[in-house]
């Protein structure tokens, strides 16, 4: 089977603005008959889920297994590839906490890779669709188009700029596929991935399109055999103005004083604790005006479930959620863990280590590496190993048995999204902490928090 099909001249010319042109080194004849070397023209590739900024890119030349780093994408998702590389693969690593997706506010919360073949016969894009095309050796892009009942030209090129009526379907499918891709391209099981693509595409066409759901306003996810969707957060207002929110500091002093406060953002007015203030949103900043004085909060992470922000004045990390969190939810154990959530997994715990009466934050991160019976706890260059177990749906770490500290740790699972879990230490009344699946996202939040 021929792996690639030729793109028609019309389609190629339509998409040329989204990529670039290239030529290998050649000789140009001068009027006197001599030849002058012509330098190969660099080629611009565009990396798309939405346009992905600050994604790392490397190239595997034909016949090689080494992926040579060539830099990171710019704000338009573009990366320039040397024109002398005319065959091989281009590999993109989308990094949690580093890469920004033009489709959403803030940083990507999950690391994954995409890949595309380098060929003069295809548009210069790297997308979830080119990734499936490369990973599945039995299919061409035409096959993928036929199976999804979508135009091949859309799947092959820059669907963001297309005016095709199928664009919303293609873009929604691309976002959903990206959420299913593995940290490394080689970790994907293509059979499983194809099954998921089929299920997601069917969900889009039957559950969403037939119900007249605006595909540009939702993100689609698959967990196990179930496909669901949620409101997409394209800008900060989409999160803040989507119903009541609950606000709480991760600083123990502020948490003790303020607790978890309900708030409502509507129009240009925010109401909290019976007081009303005006507000405006500037990118990832929330600017409120209270008694004539402006206060600014910088948002470091935003999902449909909750956000993390830091007030410039007090510098304490703050969580804002659409679900109430605090003692009542935690003690009722609405959300519980089992041993499979931890055994064999590594997490990164981010918290404010300031003393309980100190409002000055002390951002801290520790690494938790769980085996079946013990957890290795690492902070900086120091590590300790301690037994752990699940106790009434909570995580218990036996620090006393490990000979560290003066008490054991008992953590309850509170609110969570796909990347972060808010947890409460039920033993000492401290403010909540955050448990991250990915080190890069945890480190990114820590760095930005410390940098304010």
Are residue 195 and residue 250 in the same domain, yes or no?
no
In a domain, 30, yes or no: no
Are residue 106 and residue 152 in the same domain, yes or no?
yes
User: From residue 146, how far is each of 74, 141, 153 by CA, in Å?
Assistant: 33, 9, 12
**Residue 434: which of 350, 353, 333 has the closest Cα?**
350
Mean local confidence (pLDDT), 180-207: 96
Are residue 166 and residue 17 in the same domain, yes or no?
yes
In a domain, 132, yes or no: yes
Q: Which of 296, 321, 346 delimits the end of a domain?
A: 321
Mean local confidence (pLDDT), 289-307: 93
| pLDDT for position 32 | 56
| pLDDT for position 39 | 55
Q: Is residue 1 scored above 80 in pLDDT?
A: no
pLDDT band at 19 (very low <50, low <70, confident <90, very high): very low
In a domain, 427, yes or no: yes
Are residue 218 and residue 269 in the same domain, yes or no?
no
Q: Is residue 9 scored above 70 in pLDDT?
A: no
CATH of the domain at 428: 2.40.128.370
pLDDT band at 2 (very low <50, low <70, confident <90, very high): very low
| pLDDT for position 24 | 40
Are residue 136 and residue 105 in the same domain, yes or no?
yes
Report residue 246 as tokens.
């609950």
Are residue 293 and residue 412 in the same domain, yes or no?
no
Q: What are the tens digits of pLDDT across the range 336-391?
A: 999 999 999 999 999 999 988 889 999 999 999 999 999 999 999 999 999 999 99
User: From residue 46, how far is each of 55, 60, 74, 330 by CA, in Å?
Assistant: 11, 17, 9, 45
In a domain, 363, yes or no: yes
Q: Which of 231, 261, 293 delimits the end of a domain?
A: 231
Q: Give DSSP secondary structure letters for 191-248.
A: HHHHHHHHHHHHHIIIIIITTT--GGGEEEEEETTEEEEEE--SSHHHHHTSS-EEEE
Q: For the chain, what percent of residues have pLDDT higher than 70? A: 88
368 and 349 in contact (C-beta within 8 Å)?
Answer: yes
| pLDDT for position 7 | 32
Are residue 266 and residue 173 in the same domain, yes or no?
no
Using CA atoms in the order 343, 348, 351, 353, what is the torsion angle rounded to 10 degrees?
Answer: 90
Are residue 74 and residue 182 in the same domain, yes or no?
yes
pLDDT band at 198 (very low <50, low <70, confident <90, very high): very high
Report residue 127 as tokens.
């997308």
In a domain, 29, yes or no: no
Q: Is residue 152 scored above 60 in pLDDT?
A: yes
Q: Which of 321, 336, 351 delimits the end of a domain?
A: 321
In a domain, 162, yes or no: yes
Least confident stretch, 19-28, 217-226, 269-278, 300-309: 19-28
Are residue 154 and residue 15 in the same domain, yes or no?
yes
pLDDT band at 426 (very low <50, low <70, confident <90, very high): confident
pLDDT band at 178 (very low <50, low <70, confident <90, very high): very high
Using the 8-state DSSP alphabet, how is residue 172 labeled? H
- Taken as a whole, the chain contains a residue count of 452
Name the domain count of the chain: 3
Are residue 61 and residue 198 in the same domain, yes or no?
yes
In a domain, 35, yes or no: no
* Domain housing 396: 327-450
Q: Is residue 224 scored above 90 in pLDDT?
A: no
Are residue 75 and residue 160 in the same domain, yes or no?
yes
CATH of the domain at 267: 2.40.128
pTM of the model: 0.87
Mean local confidence (pLDDT), 55-79: 96
Are residue 117 and residue 244 in the same domain, yes or no?
no
Mean local confidence (pLDDT), 420-433: 86
In a domain, 362, yes or no: yes
What phi and psi, each to the nearest 5 degrees, are found at residue 218?
A: -135, 155
pLDDT band at 223 (very low <50, low <70, confident <90, very high): confident
Q: What are the tens digits of pLDDT across the range 239-266?
A: 999 999 999 999 999 999 999 999 999 9
């Amino acid at each position: 089977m021929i792996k690639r099909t030729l793109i028609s001249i019309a389609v190629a010319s339509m998409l040329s603005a989204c990529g670039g042109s290239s030529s290998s080194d050649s000789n140009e004849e001068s009027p006197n008959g001599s030849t002058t070397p012509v330098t190969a023209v660099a080629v611009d590739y565009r990396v798309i889920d939405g346009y992905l900024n600050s994604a790392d890119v490397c190239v595997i030349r034909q016949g090689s297994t080494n992926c040579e780093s060539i830099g990171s994408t710019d704000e338009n998702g573009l990366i320039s590839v040397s024109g002398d590389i005319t065959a091989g693969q281009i590999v993109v690593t989308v990094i949690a906490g580093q890469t920004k997706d033009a489709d959403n506010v803030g940083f990507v919360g999950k690391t994954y890779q995409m890949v595309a073949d380098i060929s003069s016969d295809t548009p210069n894009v790297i997308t979830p669709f080119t990734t499936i095309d490369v990973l599945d050796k039995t299919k061409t892009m035409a096959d993928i188009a036929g199976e999804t009942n979508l135009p091949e030209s859309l799947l092959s090129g820059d669907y963001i700029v297309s005016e095709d009526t199928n664009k919303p379907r293609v873009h929604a499918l691309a976002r959903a596929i990206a959420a299913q891709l593995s940290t490394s391209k080689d970790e994907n099981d293509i059979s499983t991935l194809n099954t998921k693509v089929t299920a997601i595409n069917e969900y889009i066409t039957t559950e969403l399109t037939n119900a007249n759901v605006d595909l540009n306003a939702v993100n689609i996810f698959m967990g196990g055999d179930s496909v669901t969707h949620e409101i997409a957060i394209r800008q900060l207002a989409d999160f803040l103005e989507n119903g009541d929110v609950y606000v709480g500091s991760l600083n123990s002093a502020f948490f003790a004083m303020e607790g978890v406060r309900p708030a409502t953002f509507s129009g240009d007015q925010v109401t909290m604790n019976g007081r009303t203030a005006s507000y405006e949103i500037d990118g990832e900043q929330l600017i409120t005006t209270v008694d004539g004085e402006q206060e600014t909060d910088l948002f470091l992470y935003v999902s449909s479930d909750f956000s993390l922000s830091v007030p410039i004045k007090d510098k304490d990390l703050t969580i804002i959620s659409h679900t109430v969190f605090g003692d009542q939810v935690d003690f009722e154990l609405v959300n519980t863990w089992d041993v499979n959530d931890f055994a064999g997994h590594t997490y990164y715990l981010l918290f404010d280590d300031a003393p309980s009466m100190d409002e000055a934050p002390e951002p801290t991160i520790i690494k938790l590496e769980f085996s079946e019976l013990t957890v290795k706890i690492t902070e900086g260059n120091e590590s300790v190993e301690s037994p752990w177990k699940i106790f009434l749906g909570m995580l218990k770490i036996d620090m006393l048995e490990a000979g560290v500290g003066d008490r054991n740790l008992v953590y309850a699972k509170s609110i969570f999204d796909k990347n972060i879990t808010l947890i409460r230490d039920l033993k000492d009344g401290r403010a909540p902490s955050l448990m991250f699946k990915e080190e890069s996202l945890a480190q990114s939040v820590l760095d930005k928090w410390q940098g304010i």
